[in-house]
Amino acid sequence: MTISLPFKESTLVFEVNNPVERYRIADFGDEKEFLEQFVFAIQPDDVVFDVGASVGLMPVYAASTAFKGRVFAFEPDPETMRRLRRNVLLNSLSNVELLPWVLSADGAGGAAPGIRRQENRPEAPKGMLMMSSTSLDAEITTNSLTLPTVIKIDIEGAEILALRGARKLLTGLFGPKPRVVFLEVISSLF
């Protein structure tokens, strides 16, 4: 099923495959105000890092806003990445780069932590997926990623690990610091 959402002078299209994705897209995951603030902060030539891109709501809106810039969408889960890729293609966005990386503080070769089990959510996948992780600082150094002007981090409780792995970036050791950082915080974990 597809959902069309009006945006500025156009329409954004998303494919949804289950009730959770419908909630994330059609109801904005109860984060409509966050999405509006995120989009408001983005300028046409920005470089946006979306860490925890999920099925694509935020990166599609970001790429449509930063149409002269670039969006790097970080999403490590293979099935979620397939859905993210589909939503980027549905909107004919050529300024999005999809990166299947787990971002943490450990750098290349570190094990990405499973922050918490989803025991109380029957629709959540069961089991564990072990993946190597990297840090933003390491990837900027080794892969010459463009420095971001806007960062969004929403990685279900592992945000502190991503921040620790971005110390050099956030303190300006690589060049200009990001203009704005959007961060989800799950306080019950720390």
Each residue's pLDDT tens digit, 162-178:
999 999 999 999 999 99
Entry pTM:
0.86
| Mean model confidence pLDDT for the chain | 86
- Domain-located, residue 20: no
For residue 140, what are the CA distances in angstroms to 36, 49, 79, 126, 168? 28, 12, 26, 33, 10
- Domain-located, residue 16: no
- Domain-located, residue 7: no
- Domain-located, residue 53: yes
Q: Domain count of the chain?
A: 1
Mean of pLDDT values over 99-120: 52
How many other C-beta atoms are found inside a 10 Å radius of the C-beta of residue 161? 22
- Domain-located, residue 22: no
- Domain-located, residue 94: yes
Domain membership of residue 181 as a residue range: 32-114+128-189
Mean of pLDDT values over 72-86: 94
Q: Are strands 132-134 and 102-103 parallel, antiparallel or unpaired?
A: parallel
Domain containing residue 54: CATH number:
3.40.50.150
% the chain with pLDDT above 70: 82
pLDDT digit string, tens, across residues 22-37? 999 999 989 999 999 9
The pLDDT score that the predictor gives to residue 102 is 80
Backbone angles phi, psi at 180, to 5 degrees: -150, 145
- Domain-located, residue 10: no
Confidence label for 60 from pLDDT (cuts 50, 70 and 90)? very high
CA 75/CA 56 separation, integer angstroms: 10
- Domain-located, residue 3: no
